[in-house]
Amino acid sequence: MISEIDRYASLASPIHRWDPRFRLVSIFTLIFSVVLLYNLQLVVIGMISAIILVCISKIPFSFVLSRMKLVFIFVLPFFIIIPFTLTDTGLEIAHLGMVTVSYRGIESVEFAAMIVLKALTAVMLIFPMIGTSRMDITIKALEGLHLPNKLVQMFAFTYRYIFVLDDEFMRTDRALTSRGFKKRGDLYTLTTMSKAIAMLFVKSYERADRVFYAMRSKGYAGTVATLHEFHAGRQDWVNAAFVVGFALLLQVAATSDTFSATGGF
């Protein structure tokens, strides 16, 4: 099943009340700022800010963590790859069997931690960024931010039809199962699944045709407009100033000598 990131969009919190256009731009700036950092302490501070934002948004941490699991599994290997592929070990401290401990090695563990934390922070920030309003509102906010119309249409259609495709695949899957198909690790499973997926592509292609016909029948001539109107108030600007200010502060701090680049990389 497609997990719905906007499951908690109906909660009431300062972040939910924040004009989605401002929220998108501000938190996106913060994500960028954290990703550009090269100092572990500052990344930790960024992570704390992400946790605070999630707290304010009232989105349950269990929900956030369960969605972050996959990202964590993906970035975890850095802890192994970076320290154990170090060629220039520098000053060595001890030898434990096949493993050599060195200062440079410890630094590289810190470096790996920084990369992992950065990734996790960026993903965590996505929840207050787009998990606090319904996806359709977020898409309209993109339209309100004057993103290229074609891009907005792509987002909108992806969101609209991903559920339809998901259902369609689920039906295919059930049809396979009900006729005795079992997923195994063999070639037969692989060919069957790839045929099913290929059929899904063909079906999507045909559906795309029909949707396009429907759009043309309703006078579509290239652009999509909606009636939604956003009204920004003072609080929206204050929130934006706060988050963007913090993002900039992180960058200013990164240039000072107190927070030098972690690991000397």
Partner 1 sequence: MTAAVTATAIRVSDLNYTYPDGTVALEHVSFEIEKGESVALVGPNGAGKSTLLLHLNGILHSKKSRGAVEILGETVDPKKVHEMPKKIGIVFQDPDDMLFMPLLCDDVAFGPINLGVEKVDVKQRVKDSLERVGLAGYENRVSHHLSGGEKKRAAIATVLSMEPEIIAMDEPTANLDPKSRAELIEILRTLKSEGKTLIIITHDVNAIPELADRVIVLHKTVVADGTTREVFSDTETLLAAGLEVPTIMQFFEVLQAFGYPCNVLPLSIEGAVSNLTQTIENGDGHIHLHIHEHTHIEVDLARSKYQHHHHAARMQDIHSGPGTGAAH
Kindly calculate the radius of gyration of the chain based on its CA atoms and give it in whole angstroms: 24
Closest separation in Å from C-beta 223 to partner 1 = 9
Q: Which residue, among 10, 109, 127, has the nearest Cα to 68 in the 3D structure?
A: 127
Told to check if 5 binds partner 1 by CB under 8 A, we report no
Told to check if 169 binds partner 1 by CB under 8 A, we report no
Phi/psi at 99 (5° precision): -95, 135
d(CA 261, CA 83): 17
What six digits make up the tokens of 72? 């964590």
Told to check if 219 binds partner 1 by CB under 8 A, we report yes
Nearer to partner 1, 101 or 135 (CB): 135
Region at 225 (left for phi over 0; alpha for psi -120 to 50; beta for the rest) = beta
Q: Which of 157, 169, 181, 230 binds partner 1 (CB under 8 A)?
A: 157
Residues in Cβ contact with 52 at an 8 Å cutoff, skipping those fewer than 6 apart: none
Q: Which helix (H) or strand (E) holds 93?
A: strand 92-96
How many residues bind to partner 1 according to rule CB under 8 A?
Answer: 29
Closest separation in Å from C-beta 215 to partner 1 = 7
What six digits make up the tokens of 85? 């592929």
Told to check if 100 binds partner 1 by CB under 8 A, we report no
Closest separation in Å from C-beta 26 to partner 1 = 23
Stretch of residues binding partner 1 (CB under 8 A), selected from 45-53, 110-118, 219-227, 247-255: 219-227
Closest separation in Å from C-beta 132 to partner 1 = 16
Told to check if 164 binds partner 1 by CB under 8 A, we report yes
d(CA 71, CA 78): 12
Residues forming the site for partner 1 (CB under 8 A): 134-136, 139-140, 156-157, 159-161, 163-164, 207, 210-211, 213-221, 224-228
